[in-house]
A and B are shown apart, each in its own frame.
Chain A
């Protein structure tokens, strides 16, 4: 399975290597660099690269390439999924998955990698188990450790590893028992020039933060489960109950986790919360163009639209933009050719507008294509699909927990 792992930064330095079987020289990464050079952009590097003796499967995440070396047949998704788990684990342990964080905690990283794989086959990838084996670094603990000489390594086998509930550790205790659920929905839509929907779908996730003592058994039910078209669950959810009763029944992991992600059928019409009037044109004569974008609310169900950001990928010939915004501020990066207009809260009375001229490279032919607009926004306390949590029941423990549900809608276009 996974033979070795190299972590490479954007500059092409291999800053960490780990081998689970015999050592493979880091010169194998030359093939990767070759592919990287050919691809021009990090996103375009092919995830699977063949070399004469090995196969390189890599992911690019948080400006780090995770390059794994494979020698024999293995499902590529297996490796890719695992590498993403590694990245998530770093994120979980160190707050962010950056080169600096990894370099600072190289010993813990090494201990983690050692526990996560044995002979290239995943051993413990569940965050709860790993945290019992290897304690995450905190300032307090590192101080205590340096004084008392105690270690970051757990002394016993985590109970989760052996039980049938591997995602939860035993003996959890909280003074305040709380369970929070965030229903986050994203609209993913493509609109054409005139504003008609080409494609729209709603994807949602339910992220949970559960801090409950003991071994609680939770049941979460929805008012309208029929809305959900396609779902995927955290392993803790009992699939049989979902199939028969459409309720989520589970023993939660401790802490933050993603309970389920779902898809709402695209066939029922998706209400797009905002509308856009845009006019971007380039003049045939002279090296200039005009830009005019207006945003307005539409079907927001009485909620305010927040964090509105408009991103425009300009054609390569656009040198600079001279614009005025009635609300928020804009930046234009002439290197990446990206125009970002950060509006903030959408004002119902006075619609935000961005207007002005674009200066083009002189002599260059006018771009034949109008740039596409990406709009990100957020609506608090609203799940655009109308999904509602009905109730949350707890069995197995006696105390009364505090429960909370939050709805958020996001849009990417």
Chain B
């Protein structure tokens, strides 16, 4: 007790020292102290007392000190929640730091502090970081999603939104992390993957190794739900034949159609194949399981070589790989047979690896190679590792049952082993022989006799019990020896193990029934011994046997059947692999290794009977085209990140062949997706007789006869966009932080939390600069049977949702009878959120009505299609937004503009030169043309020949900056935005508009 007190004193004093050092003004002292604190944490000692002293240093300039403080914070924040809140505002500030490393590490620490109070702050920080320009920060955001989810599962819906957004990210850095978040938060939302599927496949090669593993396992699950089975099923049609009705006949006719693999399915297989050559064993294994679960049977063989290669890796890797090979080799012997020698056991292998190799060798054994396998087994039996030798004997037994030709050879070999000096070997042989003999006892009475002779020398209880059972079971084959063995047993009954005693009782009973003349007294004697045994199992058994076989006055009913009960022919045991039904688990998973379901294991679904819609994976064609042009335009060299889209491991301005190969792959994937969508469209047109109205505002842009309203540049009073509702928040904070001393400071810190929009100088203006009056046709009156509909982008912020674009619909009834109940029934396009207008109850002939609805286009120009219904009929219609309508104007100062532009260099910038005819220069002020075409805000400019416009994308909030520099005969047009596709589309549109005369 004294020493303990002493110890406490020491630690107390040490902590005092450290506290002093931490509070000193000298940086080096502080650093030294922090290093010692981290040392304490590493050893698992409690250093939580120092929390107040440490947390003061959180804003220190020294980067190493700061990092160590972060380490400390993350470790103890959970225990000291109130104090931890003190540090939050520092991270808040750091989240806006120009250095991406600092932004990222701030987010990392903020999200690692497991304090429930800051959940809303974390949520905001994640949302913001998800649209950060730096992919590294976005990656950190993806990690933070999981942390927040584990802290507060209620945030799921919001987090899914962020995941959805990040899934669209094209950076290879982000891909792995966001898929990880997806797997953790919402693995069942397979619909989020559809549109990113092809992108993920193409990026896979360039994603870092750990991300590859996660993506591949997710895609395996995805593919199992989306594609039909490539495995031809034999025999299923026979089963059906009996029940077949007309309907099913049709169905089976469909099934027998030659199987054609979905091109997307092929894409996945093709893009994962090179990864079999990865140096990372986990990647190789995950590709192997993907092929095992998804590839047509004849293609699976390519994984064999790579798996065998993994066997040269570390011991632990071998263990896992061998387990998976064991499962595979049960189903597909042929796969690994050529590599059988790789599974030969070495004397230096660990025991569990030896047993696994043995397992595989047994699985691989067949008539052709059994002699080599047995020869190999013979050396194993002599091994010094007795457990392994015993396992070998079992393996021999399994070979013997599987391959009937060698049963006799094996039996003889095993009988020879009975004279082995080692007990475990003998015991195991006896047990195996017993199992083998059960299959054909009549031919082997000599072996039973031999075993009975050996009985005296065998001491292992299991073996003795086995021999007793054998003799009892086949006592009719050895009528002379059996009673003698029983006699010996009666002598030694006392000293036997329980299991042997039980078998002795059984033997006695069986002999009593077959040969009661010789054994009646012996049996009585043994039953008496058993009656007074210490073990209750034996007493029970004895009592039961006595009642059964010894005829008594009362219960004679059962004893009539005693013979049939005890000497019933017993089915031979089936010797089978422990890996028999392991394939119910996905290969390569923890659950497979443990052979039981681990927490969080995601079931691999069966193939769907019918292929689900393929079109869900189509990404709009416009995007694809613009992407390809982008790829060709880029002259920025390898660093701008285009190369990662090229699906190959480029990343350098290397030789021309490299370039061409990447281009080839690009065009390859393009053409495949093109052809997909082509066939898809055809299919749709065949399938659906309903009319389809496609409006293409792109083309009609040229025909705009714009009526210009006086430009309405309005400087709205600055309205703080407070993302964190403080009114909601502060009372909660007060109630939670009970410590009265702390709460004011905490509160003041929390006040600093109100996250302003990404940059405080940029404001979204509420009203648009200019509203063009052009309307588009949604439904022609002829196709609509009297109902005509037109739509128009009102350029007003949508009242339903910030991410939506408001669209005004005008319905007019050109028919001659009243239309009733006009409404939107089903939204056919996935991924777009549509806020419907409230149904119009009735529309008189010659009348028209205007309603507004909101559509979230997700910042793409893909048409939003839905079904417009009247009471009587439904029409398929779609609204296609022009790229200019996806924007919301923002106002900012010229300085802010150039600052933001500076951040959006490189691949985020696209520019073009326009040749302007003299008339086009004079016809209209340039900025009018621009605002007519796109919903952008005008940035006041100091120079006459430079026009700047700013806007943000409605859905993602990404900035779009347009700059036009007029020169004498032309203009230089620059578009900067993070969304490169939108940028290039906008550029093209502007180019067309500006170069036109009128």
Contact = CB atoms under 8 A, between A and B. Distances in A.
B277 A231 contact: yes
A12 interface: no
A240 B649 contact: yes
A372 B347 contact: yes
Contacts of B210: 78, 82, 121-122, 125
B146 A119 contact: yes
B312 interface: yes
A21 B341 CA distance: 44
B421 A77 contact: no
Interface residues of A, number: 101
Interface stretch (A171-179, A258-266, A324-332, A343-351): A258-266
A316 B100 CA distance: 62
Contact of B320 (A21, A80, A234, A238): A80
A151 B31 contact: yes
Nearest to A46: B352
Contacts of A199: 341, 344
Nearest to A262: B309
B350 A23 contact: no
B42 A110 contact: yes
A284 interface: no
Contacts of A340: none
Contact of B643 (A146, A164, A368): A164
Contacts of B112: 119
Contact of A76 (B41, B320, B384): B320
Contact of A238 (B317, B382, B649): B649
A153 B64 contact: yes
A232 B320 CA distance: 19
Given A106-B38, A240-B661, A114 B650 contact: no
A397 to B, nearest CB: 12
Contacts of A107: 35, 38-39, 68
A153 B590 contact: no
Contacts of A152: 64
Given A78-B282, A217-B654, A232 B309 contact: yes
A73 B599 contact: yes
A22 interface: yes
A77 B320 contact: yes
Nearest to A170: B639
Contacts of A232: 277-279, 284, 306, 309
B64 A239 contact: no
Contacts of A244: 661
A22 B177 CA distance: 20
Nearest to B310: A77
A81 B208 CA distance: 14
Contact of B382 (A16, A78, A201, A369): A369
Given A47-B320, A153-B67, A77 B39 contact: no
Of A121, A239, A374, the most chain B CB neighbours within 10 A belong to A121
B516 interface: no
B534 interface: no
A59 B205 CA distance: 28
B27 interface: yes
Contact of B63 (A15, A121, A153): A153
A43 B348 CA distance: 10
A149 B383 contact: no
A202 to B, nearest CB: 11
Interface string A245-268: 000010100000010010100100
Contact of A241 (B27, B306, B658): B658
Interface string A60-77: 110000000011111111
Contacts of A166: 208
B122 to A, nearest CB: 13
A106 B140 contact: no
A84 B550 CA distance: 68
Contact of A48 (B177, B274, B594, B638): B594
A17 interface: yes
Contacts of A31: none
Interface string A212-244: 000101010000000001111111011111011
A395 B653 CA distance: 10
A82 B206 CA distance: 19
A365 B421 contact: yes
B369 interface: no
Contact of B350 (A44, A123, A237, A239): A44
B315 A60 contact: yes
Interface string A93-129: 0000000000000110111001000110111010000
A244 to B, nearest CB: 8
Interface in B435-461: none
B71 to A, nearest CB: 6
B278 A235 contact: yes
Interface in B185-213: 205-206, 208-210, 213
Given A119-B147, A316-B384, A17 B305 contact: no
A126 B638 CA distance: 20
A203 to B, nearest CB: 6
B429 interface: no
Nearest to A234: B279
Nearest to B284: A232
B315 A43 contact: yes
B481 interface: no
A245 to B, nearest CB: 8
A360 B905 CA distance: 80
B201 to A, nearest CB: 15
Given A47-B320, A121-B180, A316-B384, A251 B593 contact: no
B316 A47 contact: yes
Contacts of B638: 163-165
Contacts of A41: 350
A186 to B, nearest CB: 9
A251 B31 CA distance: 39
B319 interface: yes
Given A43-B315, A44-B352, A395-B655, A75 B589 contact: yes
Contacts of A407: none
A77 B285 contact: yes
B655 A76 contact: no
B656 to A, nearest CB: 10
Interface in B347-379: 347-348, 350-352, 379
Contacts of A367: 384
A44 B42 contact: no
A238 B599 contact: no
B114 A22 contact: yes
A18 interface: yes
B654 A72 contact: no
Interface string B401-443: 0000000000000000000010000000000000000000000
B78 A22 contact: yes
B314 interface: yes
Contacts of B140: 118
A164 B175 CA distance: 14
B32 to A, nearest CB: 9
Of A46, A76, A199, A233, the most chain B CB neighbours within 10 A belong to A76
Interface string B56-82: 000000111101101100010010000
7 contacts: A46-B352, A60-B316, A81-B317, A107-B39, A118-B108, A155-B63, A157-B100
Q: Please name the 3 residue pairs, one residue from A and one from B, whose CB atoms are nearest each other, closest first.
A: A72-B600, A151-B64, A164-B651
Given A149-B27, A190-B346, A217-B654, 16 more contacts: A17-B43, A43-B315, A44-B350, A47-B320, A58-B316, A60-B315, A75-B213, A77-B320, A111-B71, A121-B210, A164-B641, A230-B306, A230-B308, A235-B649, A395-B655, A396-B654
Interface of B: 27-28, 31, 35, 38-39, 41-44, 62-65, 67-68, 70-71, 75, 78, 99-101, 104, 108, 111-112, 114, 134-136, 140, 143-144, 146-147, 150, 172-173, 177, 180, 205-206, 208-210, 213, 217, 274, 277-282, 284-286, 305-306, 308-309, 312, 314-317, 319-321, 341-342, 344, 346-348, 350-352, 379, 382-384, 421, 588-591, 593-594, 596, 598-602, 638-639, 641, 643-644, 648-655, 657-658, 661, 665
